[in-house]
Amino acid sequence: MYHPKVVCKVSIGPLKALRVMSIEEWLGYKKEFKEIMRELEELNEPKIECEEEKKTVCLIRIEGLKESVSKEELKVFVSNFARPEYVDYKKGEAKAIVRFKSVGDADKFTQGCNNEAKLKAFDKEGIKLIRLNKDEEADYLLLVEKQRQNFKKYMAARKKKVDE
């Protein structure tokens, strides 16, 4: 959003030299800048978010997947209903965990999967969708954090080995 007092000009010619100004003049410009920024913040639409949704992600476990399903196919399937933040799946496993940014996205996905025609098109008769409860979510997120830490240690050791 633009502010009426702010004008942005692109100059192709030579750059103007910096000018020297008094501290009072500089403080005046600084005050005007802060006022403009405050007005811009007021003009922007306020974001209304639930604190609970910010703190927690929504995880859904999909069970009963066939071995032939690839991670990319699963992502595309999930994206037909809602935008997944991450799909944790390895080809050949019977289950996957899909992370959504909000509970609303997870609800869109579960409601969309109730349509049997789309499930059959994905060739997934007998798949189950299970929303993880808070304890299961916490356990899963701890596991993911451990995996991240192990990966960081591995990469640091690898880098150290390459540098030697």
The pLDDT averaged over each successive group of 10 residues in the chain (164 residues) is 52 67 91 86 57 62 84 86 88 88 85 64 66 87 89 86 74
User: What pLDDT, on the 0 to 100 scale, is given for residue 28?
Assistant: 93
User: What pLDDT, on the 0 to 100 scale, is given for residue 25?
Assistant: 92
User: What pLDDT, on the 0 to 100 scale, is given for residue 53?
Assistant: 43
User: What pLDDT, on the 0 to 100 scale, is given for residue 128?
Assistant: 80
- Are 99 and 89 in contact by the 8 Å Cβ rule? The answer is no
HSE, side-chain direction, 13 A CA sphere, residue 132: 21
User: What pLDDT, on the 0 to 100 scale, is given for residue 158?
Assistant: 83
Q: How many CB atoms lie within 10 A of CB 105?
A: 21
User: What pLDDT, on the 0 to 100 scale, is given for residue 23?
Assistant: 92
User: What pLDDT, on the 0 to 100 scale, is given for residue 15?
Assistant: 62
Distance in angstroms (rounded) separating the CA atoms of residues 92 and 102? 28
